[in-house]
Structure 1
Amino acid sequence: MKITKVECLTVHPGWRKNLIFVRVETDAGIVGWGEAYSQYDRDRAIAAQVEELGRYVVGRDPFQIRHICQVAFDDYAQRRASLEFHCAVSGIEQALWDIVGKATEQPVYNLLGGKTRERIRVYANGWGYKLREVADYARAAEKVVESGFTAMKLDPLPRPWRTFIPRQHIRQSVDIIRGIRDAVGPDVDILLDIHRRLAPMHAIELANALAEFEPYWFEEPCQSENIQALAEVRASSPIPTVTGEALYGRAGFRPVLRERAVDIINPDVANCGGILELMYIAAAAETEMIACSPHNYNSTTLALSATVHASACMPNFIITEYFIPFEELGAKLCSNPLKPVDGYITLPDGPGLGLDVNEEAVRSMPGKPFPKRDLPLPENEGPRNTALSKAF
């Protein structure tokens, strides 16, 4: 069997960013699907990388997944990787596993060594987008719990994203998380996402201020490339720390794992290099007794299914991400999307990734540019945004 075509299909979901699907055809009539991670204003660059790399995948055996990925890095990229490169590899790699699973009539998790669990726990994200008032967060959180989730994630800090913040930002975050905890009770897990924003001194202050509400974790308090900063926060934070969504491939995770700079890693199957690379990263973390919680700011179809298949085979898996705002779109793009029940997704049992993609629907919603965002100007900066929370 040979690959005859690699196609990149961008989809406009109507919220936040375009999605990038990868369709791979073979001469045996088997079609595989995958998904590449995307970001607003960068999706066209990622799609272009899928198309360029796809030219070198045509003519190859889809079963040779490991070699295809190695050639992509060594020879195509000449060992100069990037976000766009890793996203492209991830989408294509998932599609190859989908083909292999369909050809062998096996779900992908069986081909990865077999499942270690029947259900995958998920947390809700996207539910707090653009909320400002504490009461609004509380009401939205209650709705998330009413829909069956037992865990939810949010970023409690106000914008803009800056390294040094005023104490008021910390107070506001405390008010928001207190309101949510009072609304949902003690048994719902609240996950905090800091989005690589803060200097260690502010991250530690924020973690200590929020500890009384018993958050499940404290995600990406500092830039993930600064291992020493992450380790400093982990050493002083009463909340378990997380990093990984902006790290790519095993090499990107190596310094974090070697230094035990966090308690949990969250690589994304749609940008870390794909399903097999995610398994390698998780296995490396397992040897350091670090948990793995795959990131999934992607659709509730292909990337979610790829994440579920990989997570099923990870002994150190704890929870993964589910984006509520993409749920309605997922039902249009796939006749059997994975749906959480009581906060868990049951493993699919169909071949490959186990999804029936509605190709006509995918092609009917092509990606398009989003409106230009209102990014800050120098006059928007000032003491209010840059004042330090503590004196030196």
Structure 2
Amino acid sequence: MPVYQLLGGKCREAAACYAHAGGSCREEVVDSIRAFMEEGYRHIRVQLGGYGGLSSALTRPDGAQDGAYFDPRGYVRAHLQLFEYVRQQVGDEVELLHDIHERLTPIDAVGFASDAERFKLFFLEDPLAPEDLEWFHSIRQQCSTPIAMGELFNHPREWQPLIAGRLIDFLRMHVSQMGGITPARNVAAFANMYGVRTAWHGPGDTSPVGHAANLHLDLWAPNFGVQEWCRFPEHVYEVFPGLPEVRGGYMYPNDRPGLGIDVDEELAARYPCKDQVEQWTQTRLPDGSPSRP
């Protein structure tokens, strides 16, 4: 029996996904958006210059360490201009999403959310760090931009007040990090009472098994919002037979028991993990001090 049946049955045949559109300039971002739209995607996350924004114009202090340098104020200006340009080019036919990655000061995050309101984002993700949750009241008082939050959360005390206070609109928790399918189901049911929808964390470094778990929760949840999805290389589909299929902007399950996915351990051994430092973990502010990754 598929897991979604054990949860109570499915509310939908497939889960709407959002894709990631990025580029070093706004024209590249729009080209990426249009390509995804042609594939059928209706929800697209837009980022300019990768996770750290555009940093080529930054002047670093002598002796500053290497890293992905990030100018918070420049990031805000560039992305507000990006949102405006994207709306001019593709109109309102596509839902736009954006992720701040908690890299702004709370007051700058409040201002960014307010200034972005006119672009009608589907949601603005992680505007604040988990230790700054009180600032969500200020965002709500300033604007109606939908807010998504949760990928760094670990404990119910972090998400309960935001849900009950109707301070966020989408749950972005990482299912394995919060304890697995049962805790995720419980949180989704709790959030449903407050009009908060699910948008489980599903970046490229989430395993195919994790994506399958996300999908079964998506199919069951009456308050499903959207599902993050990143394309895998072809060999990953061989290592993980049963990996959910995505077409036309939707993720589809199979009817196999459990999560419907398996692992070919012998084939997986051909692709050992690489011991390397990812550039996004080396984000720095203009003066060289570390920023949140």
Aligned equivalents of 1:258 and 1:286: distance in 2? 10
- Whether 1:108 aligns to 2:3 is yes
Per the alignment, in what secondary structure is the counterpart of residue 154 of structure 1?
Answer: strand
Aligned equivalents of 2:195 and 2:228: distance in 1? 21
Aligned equivalents of 1:333 and 1:230: distance in 2? 42
Aligned equivalents of 1:376 and 1:219: distance in 2? 20
- Post-superposition Cα deviations, 1:70-128, rounded to whole Å, max 9, x if no partner, equal xxxxxxxxxxxxxxxxxxxxxxxxxxxxxxxxxxxx11111112212221111113x42
User: Given the two structures, how large is their TM-score scaled by the length of structure 1?
Assistant: 0.63
Matches within 5 A, 1:239-254: 239-254=145-160
Cα drift, residue 372 of structure 1? 6.5
For 1:12, the equivalent position in structure 2 comes to none
From the superposition, tell whether residues 377 and 107 of structure 1 become closer, same or farther in structure 2 (CA, over 3 Å). Answer: closer
Which runs of 5 or more structure 2 residues have no equivalent in the other structure? 56-67
For 1:380, the equivalent position in structure 2 comes to 288
Greater gyration radius: 1
Matches within 5 A, 1:304-315: 304-315=211-222
For 1:330, the equivalent position in structure 2 comes to 236
**Structure 1 counterpart of 2:19, from 124, 149, 154:** 124
Matches within 5 A, 1:203-352: 203-297=109-203, 298-299=205-206, 301-324=208-231, 326-352=232-258
Query: Does the CA-based 8 Å contact 1:339-1:345 persist in structure 2?
Result: yes
**Structure 1 counterpart of 2:39, from 147, 150, 160:** 147
Aligned equivalents of 1:161 and 1:223: distance in 2? 19
From the superposition, tell whether residues 377 and 296 of structure 1 become closer, same or farther in structure 2 (CA, over 3 Å). Answer: closer
For 2:29, the equivalent position in structure 1 comes to 137
Cα drift, residue 351 of structure 1? 0.5
* Amino acid aligned to 1:234: R
Cα drift, residue 222 of structure 1? 0.9
Cα drift, residue 143 of structure 1? 1.8
* Amino acid aligned to 1:317: F
Cα drift, residue 358 of structure 1? 2.6
From the superposition, tell whether residues 267 and 371 of structure 1 become closer, same or farther in structure 2 (CA, over 3 Å). Answer: closer
Cα drift, residue 181 of structure 1? 2.9
Query: Does the CA-based 8 Å contact 1:122-1:345 persist in structure 2?
Result: yes
Greater relative contact order (Cα 8 A, min sep 6): structure 1 or 2?
A: 2
Query: Does the CA-based 8 Å contact 1:234-1:240 persist in structure 2?
Result: no
Query: Does the CA-based 8 Å contact 2:198-2:225 persist in structure 1?
Result: yes
Aligned equivalents of 2:243 and 2:133: distance in 1? 38
Query: Does the CA-based 8 Å contact 2:69-2:283 persist in structure 1?
Result: no
Please tell me the root mean square deviation across aligned C-alpha atoms, in Å: 2.6
From the superposition, tell whether residues 375 and 150 of structure 1 become closer, same or farther in structure 2 (CA, over 3 Å). Answer: closer
Per the alignment, in what secondary structure is the counterpart of residue 323 of structure 1?
Answer: coil
* Amino acid aligned to 1:188: V
* Amino acid aligned to 2:135: A
Query: Does the CA-based 8 Å contact 1:338-1:345 persist in structure 2?
Result: yes
Aligned equivalents of 1:322 and 1:240: distance in 2? 20
Cα drift, residue 334 of structure 1? 2.4
Which runs of 5 or more structure 1 residues have no equivalent in the other structure? 1-105, 386-392
Aligned equivalents of 1:304 and 1:143: distance in 2? 23
Cα drift, residue 251 of structure 1? 3.6
For 1:355, the equivalent position in structure 2 comes to 261
Aligned equivalents of 1:251 and 1:262: distance in 2? 15
- Post-superposition Cα deviations, 1:273-326, rounded to whole Å, max 9, x if no partner, equal 1111110111111122222221112447211110011122211111111013x3
Aligned equivalents of 1:213 and 1:260: distance in 2? 22
For 1:48, the equivalent position in structure 2 comes to none
For 2:65, the equivalent position in structure 1 comes to none
Query: Does the CA-based 8 Å contact 1:161-1:197 persist in structure 2?
Result: no
